[in-house]
Amino acid sequence: MLRLLLLRHAKSQWGGPDLADFDRPLDERGERDAPEMGRRLAEAGLVPVRVLCSPAVRAETTARLVLEQMENRPELVLEKGIYDASPARLLDILTAQPDAVTPLMLVGHNPGLTELANRLGRDLSIDNIPTCGVVCLDFDIDHWRRLTPYLGSLVLFDRPPR
């Protein structure tokens, strides 16, 4: 069995006209929500072995704040292909992972992340993974290369408190 956690980056600042989208930092709410979600995942026993993360500032900061709350620090891999990726591209990244890497977490952006969750989950219909929201899916397969649409069983869909 393979387990996948999809985590959307925490709430970010919009910045000014000179700030590129890629460089947007977290805002105050994002700085608060990311550690909270890390604690919740750790308490639920949902600690990944590896984290594939968009290198965008808001995504990387989210991942680092979440992982700080976990006793056994997962491997953090910045994967530039996650930034602004389509669900098909995200699936390609996932299917290239070694089979021993489970649970696996992917930290990225909408709309690709929500679309990927809906594509992978069996009978799943999520309108929007909110900022710092997480979807956890289990797959009754032993190889990431066999990951195909609609195989996933929903384990958890959680979001930070408002």
Of the pLDDT bands very low, low, confident and very high (cuts 50, 70, 90), residue 88 is very high
Element (H, E) at 62: helix 57-67
One-character DSSP codes across 3-48: EEEEEEPPPB----TTS-GGGPPB-HHHHHHHHHHHHHHHHTT---
Token readout for 124 is 């799943």
Token readout for 94 is 């996932």
Asked whether 10 and 26 are in contact (CB, 8 A), the reply is: yes
Domains of the chain, start order? 2-13+21-158 (3.40.50.1240)
pLDDT (tens digit per residue) in 97-134: 999 999 999 999 999 999 999 999 998 999 999 999 99
Burial class (CB in 10 A: 0-12, 13-18, 19+), 144: buried
Token readout for 12 is 């970010």
Q: What is the reported pLDDT for 11?
A: 97
Q: What percent of the chain has pLDDT over 70?
A: 100
pTM passes above 0.95: yes
Sheet with 134-139, strands from edge to edge, namely 75-78, 50-53, 104-108, 2-8, 134-139, 153-158
pLDDT (tens digit per residue) in 68-87: 999 988 999 999 999 999 99
Among the listed residues 142, 81, 144, 86, the one whose alpha carbon sits nearest the alpha carbon of residue 119: 86
